[in-house]
Structure 1
Amino acid sequence: MTLGSEAVAAQQAFSQLQGWEQRARLLMQWGERLSALSEAEKSEQHRVHGCESQVWLLADAAEGRWQFRASSDARLLRGLLALLLVRVNGLSAEQLRQVDVAQWFDSLGLGRQLSPSRSNGLNAVLQRMRDLAAQS
């Protein structure tokens, strides 16, 4: 499956960094790219369960391609969400089922820094995306 231009740009940006501190700084900058969700959008209906931090996810589909918006109360997690969104936005439901979260973050050099709880949370977000796509 080919990557979109934003996903390729993310891989290039993160591959040029050496240590975790540089990656963490860039990760937080990516998190600032997320469009803010309104208080109404931060409802229980949009909350992703299975994350230690609060995470909200909204989805829209046009012509079989999915666009997601997400936010979190945790700064580092917002960066991880932003990177997940550049990987999945524009995919079909079938392509969403093929996304491997661990492989994606490994390709960014972030895999080793993902704690089991963060990894589980990101997998919960991806599973919620897949569920939303399957319901349409």
Structure 2
Amino acid sequence: MATEAFEEIVEDFEFIEDWEDRYRHVIELGKAMDPLDDALKVPATKVDGCASQVWLHVQIDGGVFRFDGDSDAMIVKGLIAVLQKLYNGLAVAEVLKVDARAEMERLGLNEHLSSQRSNGLRAMIERIRETAAASI
């Protein structure tokens, strides 16, 4: 069910054995993202439940789901980039079919994130799912 872009991350992670190197790779994915326009960093796009500041701006065009995001924490920005690879470009109905927890387990992220980061990741996934569900 994962997008081709997410499958590329899975393949990259298969070749990166050391968790610290995987962590750095996630951070690099975040650094490669375009920053979210400050005008979009408003209460409506802020994700509650994250230890750091997180904003997700969803756009649905022609039934296709896309979002941009930003965070003040490098690893969280990287997690946003991973979620973009997982969800961006899917039909809105397909977003709800993605088992994000299982997909993230393929990367081994769940076992290596702090409980606060795991909670924040769950909050971001929940926001994505709620927004997709509300647009159907």
Deviates more, 1:112-121 or 1:5-14: 112-121
Deviates more, 1:58-67 or 1:113-122: 113-122
How large is the RMSD of aligned CA atoms in angstroms? 1.4
1:38-117 equivalences in 2 (<5 Å):
38-117=37-116
How far, CA to CA, are the matches of 1:99 and 1:51 in structure 2? 21
How far, CA to CA, are the matches of 2:92 and 2:124 in structure 1? 14
* C-alpha deviation, 1:121, in angstroms: 1.1
1:2-41 equivalences in 2 (<5 Å):
3-41=2-40
Which structure 1 residue ranges, 4+ long, deviate > 4 Å from structure 2?
none
Look up the match of 1:133: 132
How far, CA to CA, are the matches of 1:33 and 1:101 in structure 2? 22
8 Å Cα contact 1:101-1:122 kept in structure 2? no
How far, CA to CA, are the matches of 1:37 and 1:111 in structure 2? 26
8 Å Cα contact 1:101-1:123 kept in structure 2? no
TM-score normalised according to structure 2 size = 0.91
Superposed CA deviations along residues 72-91 of structure 1, whole A, max 9, x for unmatched, are: 11001111110011001112
Amino acid at match of 1:27: V
SS at match of 1:45: coil
Unaligned runs of 5+ in 1: none
* C-alpha deviation, 1:99, in angstroms: 2.2
8 Å Cα contact 2:29-2:81 kept in structure 1? yes
- The count of corresponding residues between Structure 1 and Structure 2 is 135
Superposed CA deviations along residues 16-37 of structure 1, whole A, max 9, x for unmatched, are: 1111111111111111122111
* C-alpha deviation, 1:5, in angstroms: 2.1
* C-alpha deviation, 1:53, in angstroms: 0.8
Identical pairs, percent: 36
